[in-house]
Homo-oligomer: A and B are copies of this chain.
Amino acid sequence: MTRAQFDREQVIRDATQLFWQQGFSGASMQQVVKATGLKPGSLYLAFGSKEGLYQAALESYTSQLRAAVCRVLDDAPSVGEGVCQLVLQLVEECGSGNYCSCFLIKSQLELAASGSDLLHCISGYLSQMEDLYADYLSREHSPEQARLYAASLMLHVLGLRVYGYLGRSRETTIAAAKAGLPWLPWHKVDVPD
């Protein structure tokens, strides 16, 4: 008997980074082999196929994303302020050098026409993020209002994840987000106008 000699989570993290950057078709298994340090045989024994590994990457990414969102919203003085912080954080990411949008969004768009089993996962994960927003927002709003605000917030998050590539200034981007989310307590957070 032998236990696996590699750190499964670390391998998934390495694969996630590669798939996130290059996409499913864009990343070859040879690149995965190089990125993870595992040989093809080990990869296929552990994950079954390229698609299996991609699915593990999606799961890992989503759980980390969810955790990061919860951390910010839990630590903020109010849900509204927390959401403001999330949006500002997003804008900040957009300006970073190697900006890479969102793994879920990129996966959704790339695989939409492929009819892959992964698709149900992906749109499910995206929906879960909206549900998460709605749950938090319902602490400060009626259920219907919370759902509406969550959908509008989702629209902005998705939009920002693409808008980030247009190279607009942080100020411009923040102003646009504020204009579309006027019900948030922007005056309570430290936002460069």
List the interface of chain A (C-beta within 8 A of B). 21-23, 25-26, 99-101, 105-106, 108-110, 112-114, 123, 126-127, 130, 147-149, 151-152, 154-163, 165-168, 172-173, 175-177, 179-182
Contact = CB atoms under 8 A, between A and B. Distances in A.
Nearest 4 CB-CB pairs, A to B?
Answer: A159-B159, A151-B176, A155-B159, A25-B25
A3 to B, nearest CB: 35
A164 to B, nearest CB: 10
A162 B176 CA distance: 18
B166 A130 contact: yes
B167 A123 contact: yes
Contact of A26 (B25, B156, B172): B25
The prevalent SS among residues of A at the interface is helix
12 contacts: A22-B113, A26-B113, A101-B109, A105-B162, A106-B110, A108-B162, A112-B165, A152-B177, A155-B160, A158-B158, A158-B159, A158-B162
Q: How many copies does the complex hold?
A: 2
A95 B179 CA distance: 27
B123 A112 contact: no
A173 to B, nearest CB: 7
Given A148-B175, A155-B156, A127 B166 contact: yes
Given A105-B109, A113-B21, A152 B180 contact: yes
B180 A156 contact: yes
Contacts of A158: 158-159, 162-163
Contact of A152 (B25, B148, B161, B179): B179
A99 B182 CA distance: 30
A181 B166 CA distance: 21
A14 to B, nearest CB: 16
A114 B21 CA distance: 9
